[in-house]
Structure 1
Amino acid sequence: MRVCIIGAGSVGLGLAAFLLNAGWSVCFITKKGKTEDLKRGFRVYGLFGDFEFLASEYCVSEDYASCEGCDYILITAKSYANREIAESLDRTRDKIENSKIVVIQNGWGNSEIFKEFFGKEKIYTARIITGFEREKPNLVKITVHADQMVIGNIFDKMLSFDVEDLVEALNNGGFEAKVSCEVDKHLWAKMLYNCALNPLGAIFGVEYGKLAESEHSRNIMDRVIDEIYDVMESYGYSTFWETKESYKKIFYSKLVPITAEHRSSMLQDIENGRKTEIESLNGVVVKLAKDKGIDTPFNEFLYRSIKFLEG
């Protein structure tokens, strides 16, 4: 099987390691001028083992035409680049006619952009709650792992089983994954987690565990979670916990403790002067809320604070 990975960041390199380990052929599609980073090979180490690959074991390209004939296209680039990526793929539509596109990003609303161009049958969505930290351009450390990766189709649930070969390859390569017909619920669960932790961790410059230790930061996270539940309910969305309080109980007792040492990707982006994914996290909560006339002051404050730090 052949896979193209658009975005050779920490998640892209991390997943590539497991697919290469499973015997799949991997090609990275990177931005102009970024191919040099991977010409020395790359290494992924941490919780799942230590994997190192020579440049001769994969390909790197700046040309989307390199996706021709691939079985899967994994979108692991930052979500703010989605429309540009979708337009570039659309220009090579005839070359990827039989390719499945899997969107692997933080936030809500990312897969919808690709659906505009390619329809619901071709677009799959994945949720990851694993900490990938890029220590160098070609060195990634896996620091924390809260749950197995889930992949499915949020637009037509029965199509979810069409990605079983990808799931099997990830498992064979050493990374826990499964097919799910409830990826939308998993995505909202991760939205609750990310929107509460990522921006606060970036603003205060601390690991997730520190945020749960103070009553002041806990109060902010509680209010962020409350607002997201209000938005979800207004649109008819749901997740695995029926009430705000039942989610908070598992959030503080399980989810934060097992990722206590993790520094959010948003904090890493701020420290490195990069644009963040705040638009598809708290930003999309604010937008959805405004369309329904709902006030979300805590999510909006975090959104505007991160936009300030980006600037």
Structure 2
Amino acid sequence: MNIVIIGQGAIGLLWYHHLAKSPKNTVSLLCSSRTTFIPSHYGFTDINQQSHELSLMVADNAAFIDAELILICVKSYQVNVAIEALKNKISPHVIIVFCHNGMGAYQNLASLQQPCLTLLTTHGCKINSPFHAQHTGLGHCDLGSIHGEISPLMRANITSTLKQALPTLTFTNDIKTKQWLKLAINCVINPLTAVENIDNGQLLNEKFNPIITELISEIITVAAYENVKFDFNELQEKIMQVAKKTAKNCSSMRSDILQQRKTEIDYINGYIVTLAKKSGILVPKNEMLVQQVKALQVS
């Protein structure tokens, strides 16, 4: 399969590395326009702590013309720019896959001719240095359609290609609930670890129970207006399981703050706040965290 990956961050390099392993795939990478130097090789440290240096194929216009699958692996606030830059380069038949945190990053899907999917992952990955990623934790991926029609054959082909590259992966017809579950987890773990400057596992301390309880209650209320139903105890258990499983991890939002980068808060807790305002719901704890994270991040 001809595949173009957009974004040389942790998730972009994770997918590039695993998809490029297969001789059945032709994979190229489009880097950020702000990148001043693109090396001929990239570094990758696998889950077994083994480091590799491998050839990097950079995407050109021909790669976009021939692409059957495009994975957009950029920050939520970069998605609109990435899509607008793509529109005149790609075939109407190419499949676009969004691989970013949060929700509400691209609201103009109806203007796209191309079918669109979203890919959610719980795999852990981080950037050790520019163009060197490290796979820090095994996880699961959920793939689902969010716009347009995709043939059963193409859907099966894409699912198989991605699943072979990075197990485990499931195609689901209920991707909206999966998106909301990931959003809820991110709404608790990301901002609290960023504001408190702590590893994920430290949220298991009982002193955080009151604010976690209030955040979950607010999220469940807003989700219900979007026809997504959560059980409080089940959602709380899931969030705490993730915190425990990733106990030593530094969340992406905390990492952004520490490295003086813009965060994705507008598409995580900020998304909850936006929906709440439309529905006349009060979400004071989510609003508070949005303000606290924005006070810490670079403008």
Once residues 183 and 50 of structure 1 are traced to their aligned partners in structure 2, the CA distance between those partners, rounded to angstroms, is 34
Q: Name 1:170's counterpart in structure 2.
A: 162
Once residues 282 and 201 of structure 1 are traced to their aligned partners in structure 2, the CA distance between those partners, rounded to angstroms, is 13
Question: Gaps (5+ residues) in structure 2?
Answer: none
Question: Gaps (5+ residues) in structure 1?
Answer: none
Q: 1:157 to 1:2 in 2, by over 3 A?
A: closer
Q: Name 1:90's counterpart in structure 2.
A: 87
| 1:271-282 matched pairs, under 5 angstroms | 271-282=258-269
Q: Name 1:260's counterpart in structure 2.
A: 247
Q: Name 2:40's counterpart in structure 1.
A: 39
Once residues 305 and 91 of structure 1 are traced to their aligned partners in structure 2, the CA distance between those partners, rounded to angstroms, is 39
Does 158-167 or 168-177 show the bigger shift? 158-167
Matched, 1:117 2:111: yes
Once residues 273 and 213 of structure 2 are traced to their aligned partners in structure 1, the CA distance between those partners, rounded to angstroms, is 16
More helix per residue: 1
Q: Secondary structure of the residue that 2:123 maps to in structure 1? A: strand
Q: Name 1:104's counterpart in structure 2.
A: 99
Q: Secondary structure of the residue that 2:261 maps to in structure 1? A: coil
Deviations 1:252-307 (A, max 9, x none): 2x322211111111111111111111111001100000000101111111111111
Q: How much has 1:64 moved relative to structure 2?
A: 6.0
Q: 1:245 to 1:81 in 2, by over 3 A?
A: same
Q: What's the % identity of the aligned pairs? A: 26
Q: How much has 1:184 moved relative to structure 2?
A: 1.0
**Length-normalised TM-score, structure 1:** 0.87
Q: Name 1:196's counterpart in structure 2.
A: 188
Q: How much has 1:128 moved relative to structure 2?
A: 0.8
Once residues 18 and 202 of structure 1 are traced to their aligned partners in structure 2, the CA distance between those partners, rounded to angstroms, is 30
Q: Name 1:60's counterpart in structure 2.
A: 58
Does 25-34 or 270-279 show the bigger shift? 25-34
Q: 1:8 to 1:64 in 2, by over 3 A?
A: farther
User: 2:44·2:53 contact (CA, 8 Å) conserved in 1?
Assistant: yes
Q: How much has 1:159 moved relative to structure 2?
A: 6.0
User: 2:41·2:53 contact (CA, 8 Å) conserved in 1?
Assistant: no
**RMSD, aligned CA:** 2.3
Matched, 1:210 2:194: no
Q: How much has 1:125 moved relative to structure 2?
A: 0.7
Q: Secondary structure of the residue that 2:198 maps to in structure 1? A: coil
Q: 1:162 to 1:297 in 2, by over 3 A?
A: farther
Q: 1:73 to 1:52 in 2, by over 3 A?
A: same
Q: How many residues align?
A: 297
Q: Secondary structure of the residue that 1:164 maps to in structure 2? A: helix
User: 1:144·1:258 contact (CA, 8 Å) conserved in 2?
Assistant: no
